[in-house]
Amino acid sequence: MLATSIAFTTNIILTILTGFYVVITYKLVTESRKANEINRQFAEEQVRVVTSPYIHPEVRISGKRLFLVLANGSQVPAYDVDVWISGYYNFDEIKQYFLSQDNEKSFDDDDLVYVFDHIVYPVFPNNRQVIAELDFPVITDSVNVFIQYRDTRALNYLYNVWFLDDTDGQRKSYQIGAIDPSGKFVSERLDIFKEIDEKVERPTYINSFIENFKNRVIIRTPNSKQYYIEDRGEWKSLS
C-alpha cells in the first residue's frame, strides 16, 4: 500500500515537472523565435540602409529663373527617379501664359493655382548632382518637390519637400518648410497618370499632391526654351 502511494505521488510529481518543462521549453522556443525575427529584421534593415540611395532636393534662384538641384551623396545609384515640381501662384501672376483651350476651368485673378513641371531620370548615379532649370515663367516663393525613386532591390522611396522663400528673393536657395513623411520613405509607387482609386487610404501629403495635380493649370510660355522631361540638366561630381 505504501509503495503504491509513493509511486502515485512520484507520478504526480513527474507529471507536474513535465508540465513545467513543456511550458518553459515552449516559452524558450517562442522567445528564441522572436529574437531570431528581430535579428532578421535588423539585418534586413541594415542591408536596406547600406543599399538605399538618398536624393536630396534643393530649389535655387538665378536671375529670374528657378532651378532644381538634386544630389545623391550615397554610395549607391537610384533608379526610375520621378520628380514633380509644383509652383504656387495667384492666377493673375501667370494668366498671360494661360491657354483656355488647354484648360476646362476658368479662373479669377485672385484664385490660387498650381503649375507643374515634370522631370525623370532613368538612372541617378551615386556621388553625383544635377542642376535643372524649371519650366516656371514667373518666380514663386512656394515650391513643392514630390519625388520617388527605386533602389537596387526595386524598393520604392517617396517623399514631398516644401520649399519657401520669405526674403523677397534675397536668398539664393529656398529654405525647407517641411518634409513628408518625416521618417521612413519606403512606399508603394504612385503612377499619377493611371486612374487613382479614391477608396484607397493614403497619407495626407500624397492626397494633397493628387488633388493639386488634378486641379493644375496648364500654361504655355511663348518663345521659351524647349524644356524636356527626360534627364534634364547639367551633371557634376560631388567629390
The answer to whether residues 46 and 85 belong to one domain is no
- Residue 119, classified by CB atoms within 10 Å of its CB into exposed (0-12), middle (13-18) or buried (19+), is buried
Assess whether 23 and 85 both reside in one domain: no
Q: Residue 26: its pLDDT value, please? A: 74
Side-chain half-sphere of 144: how many Cα atoms within 13 Å? 20
Q: Are residues 36 and 143 in the same domain?
A: no
Regarding whether 121 and 23 lie in a shared domain, the answer is no
**pLDDT tens digit string along 34-57?**
666 655 554 455 555 556 899 999
Which of the listed residues 17, 33, 50 is the one where a domain comes to its end?
A: 50
In tens, the pLDDT along 83-99 reads 999 999 988 888 888 76
C-alpha 154/C-alpha 52 separation (Å) is 10
Which pLDDT tens digit goes with each residue over 215-234? Answer: 888 887 655 566 789 999 99
User: Cell digits for 5?
Assistant: 502511494
How far apart (Å, rounded) are the C-alpha atoms in residues 109 and 42?
54
If asked whether residues 116 and 188 sit together in one domain, one would say yes
Quote the CA–CA distance of 236 and 228 in Å, as a whole number. 19
Verify that 106 and 32 share a domain, yes or no. no
User: Is residue 132 located within the same domain as residue 28?
Assistant: no
Which residues constitute the domain of residue 185? Answer: 53-237
111 & 198 share domain: yes
Same domain, 43 and 57: no
Q: Which of 232, 223, 134, 146 is nearest to 181 (CA)?
A: 146
Residues 105 and 201 in one domain: yes
Q: Say yes or no: 116 and 204 in one domain.
A: yes
Q: How many domains does the chain have?
A: 2
Residue 44 pLDDT: 54
- Quick: pLDDT tens for 178-199: 999 987 789 999 999 887 777 7
The predicted model scores a pTM of 0.77
Pair 202, 144 in one domain: yes
